[in-house]
Amino acid sequence: MRSIVSLSLALGLGLLAARTAQADYWDASVINDDSSFLTGNEVYHGVSQQHDLQAHAGPVADQDWSLVELTPYSSYEAIVDSVSRDLLPFSFTRMASDGTTQLQSGEFVNTSVAGVNVAMRWSWASDLFDTNFLRVGDAGCTTSCTGAAQYHIRFHETTISVPRFNNANGQVTVLIVQNSTSWTRDINGIVYFWSSSGLLMGSSPFNLAARAALVLNTSNVASGLSGTITIIHDGGYGGLTAKSVALEPATGFSFDSPGLYKPQ
């Protein structure tokens, strides 16, 4: 009986060790995630993944690359959290489509509060599609990293959609955008105005300090027009709140349209 218990315990510990060592199964794939060249990993809105920086045979330090597809007039956030202390310090960077040009590096999740969790937030203010890469590497444990050197990565599109504005037929729409964070850096963004058929009709950039608000009379940008609004920004998922209020002076009626993020 004792030998059976001992065998079961040994098998259990062996399975646990195997799971720990294989947390990053992209590294075990024929097409792995060790470089921008044909990385086997792609992140998109709502993705949540567990990785490790376990050193390869050699030993060779590990690095993880993720592909990101950028769509026109959109914004994004990538967060690395639940970081093993074995990794500290490490780097989290955003790279251009050439795989060599660094575009951005991670900031503390709460911008000014030092910690081990980092994030990148950015806008893509272009009418073109593009490709970026997210790279996690340069772990403190370097070539001695084990399967316990793990981290978690989350990715969100942060574009806000407001389904209605109307500056025609006697109505005027006011857009209200609030920075709901307590960050020490400002949030920068751009408001885009679209026709009901999806044509870009105008835009207005903004900059908001912590807890500050933008009150924008949209008729100054899209006079006599109606349609929809999108907002791109570097405030992360939920960092801004927004709504439009269409006012009809003749009747005193008002019509609110909340700003919406993509569901997680």
Q: Over the stretch 72-112, which tens digit does the pLDDT of each residue have?
A: 999 999 999 999 999 999 999 999 999 999 999 999 998 87
How far is the C-alpha of 79 from the C-alpha of 242, rounded, in Å?
23
The 10s digit of each residue's pLDDT in 179-188 is: 999 999 999 9
- Residue 249 parent element (H or E): none
For the cut 70, the answer to whether the pLDDT of residue 160 exceeds it is: yes
Evaluate if pTM is beyond 0.75: yes
Is the domain of 165 the same as that of 153? Answer: no
How far is the C-alpha of 135 from the C-alpha of 60, rounded, in Å?
16
Residue 68 contacts residue 43 (beta carbons within 8 Å): yes
> CATH number of the domain that 57 lies in?
2.60.120.380
Is the domain of 80 the same as that of 178? Answer: no
Is the domain of 139 the same as that of 165? Answer: no
Reported confidence tier of residue 189, pLDDT bands at 50, 70, 90:
very high
Is the domain of 164 the same as that of 153? Answer: no
Q: Helices then strands (H, E): number in the chain? A: 1, 18
Is the domain of 204 the same as that of 98? Answer: no
The 10s digit of each residue's pLDDT in 117-141 is: 999 999 999 999 999 999 999 999 9
Q: What is the DSSP letter of 2?
A: H
Question: Range of 173's domain?
Answer: 160-258
Domain boundary among 115, 140, 157: 157
Residue 15 lies in a domain: no
How confident is the model over 129-156, as a mean pLDDT? 97
pLDDT score at 18: 41
The size of the chain, in residues, is 264
Is the domain of 40 the same as that of 90? Answer: yes
Buried b (16+ CB within 10 A) or exposed e, 255-264: eebebebeee
Measured from the Cβ of residue 205, the count of other Cβ atoms closer than 10 Å reads: 9
pLDDT score at 22: 52
The identity of residue 161, as a single letter, is S
The 10s digit of each residue's pLDDT in 203-260 is: 999 999 999 999 999 999 999 999 999 999 999 999 999 999 998 887 878 889 999 9
Buried b (16+ CB within 10 A) or exposed e, 157-170: bbbbbbeebbbeee
How far is the C-alpha of 170 from the C-alpha of 151, rounded, in Å?
54
Quote the number of domains for the chain.
2
HSE at residue 238, side-chain half, CA atoms within 13 A, is 5
Reported confidence tier of residue 147, pLDDT bands at 50, 70, 90:
very high
Reported confidence tier of residue 23, pLDDT bands at 50, 70, 90:
low
Residue 151 lies in a domain: yes
